[in-house]
Amino acid sequence: MLVEQFYTSCLSQASYYIESNGEAAVVDPSREIKHFLEKANKSKSTIKYIFQTHFHADFVSGHLTLSKISKCPIVYGPNADPKYECIISNDGDIFEIGDVKIKVIHTPGHTLESTSYLLFDQNNKQHSIFTGDTLFLGDVGIPDVAQRYKGLSKQDLAGLLYDSINMKIKPLDDTITVYPGHGAGSACGKSMMKETVDLLSNQKVVNYSLNGKLNKDEFVQELTQNLPDPPPYFPSNVKLNQEGYTDLDDILKKSLKKIDPINFKELMSDDSIVLLDTRKTDQFVKCHLKDSIYIGLDGRFAPWVGEILKDINTPIVFICELNREREVITRLSRIGFDNCLGYISVDNSTNLELYQETNSLESIDPKIFIKNNSNSKILDVRTNSEYNNGSFKNAINIPLNKIDSSLSYPKDKKLQLFCAGGYRSVIACSILLKNGYTNLVNVEKGYSGIKKLIS
CA atoms within 13 A on the CB side of 155: 5
Average pLDDT over residues 251-259: 97
201 & 89 share domain: yes
What pLDDT shows up at residue 160?
96
CA 296/CA 276 separation, integer angstroms:
9
CA 175/CA 201 separation, integer angstroms:
6
Average pLDDT over residues 322-344: 97
408 & 309 share domain: no
CA 241/CA 12 separation, integer angstroms:
18
342-360 pLDDT per residue, tens: 999 999 889 999 999 999 9
The pLDDT of residue 14 is above 90: yes
CA atoms within 13 A on the CB side of 36: 32
Domain count of the fold of the chain: 3
300-321 pLDDT per residue, tens: 999 999 999 999 999 999 999 9
Strands (E), 94-234: 94-97, 100-106, 115-120, 126-132, 135-136, 139-140, 177-180, 198-199
Neighbouring residues of 403: CB distance < 8 A, sequence distance ≥ 6: 381, 428, 431, 432
27 & 78 share domain: yes
CATH number (domain holding residue 90): 3.60.15.10
160 & 263 share domain: no
149-176 pLDDT per residue, tens: 667 889 999 999 999 999 999 999 999 9
224 & 286 share domain: no
Domain that holds residue 19: 2-234
131 & 31 share domain: yes
Contact 400, 381 (CB under 8 A): yes
The pLDDT of residue 265 is above 80: yes
DSSP string, 130-141: EEETTEETTEEP
342 & 388 share domain: no
pTM over 0.85: yes
| 394 within some domain | yes
The pLDDT of residue 144 is above 90: no
| 22 within some domain | yes
CATH number (domain holding residue 437): 3.40.250.10
pLDDT band at residue 190 using 50, 70 and 90 as cut-offs: confident
pLDDT band at residue 108 using 50, 70 and 90 as cut-offs: very high
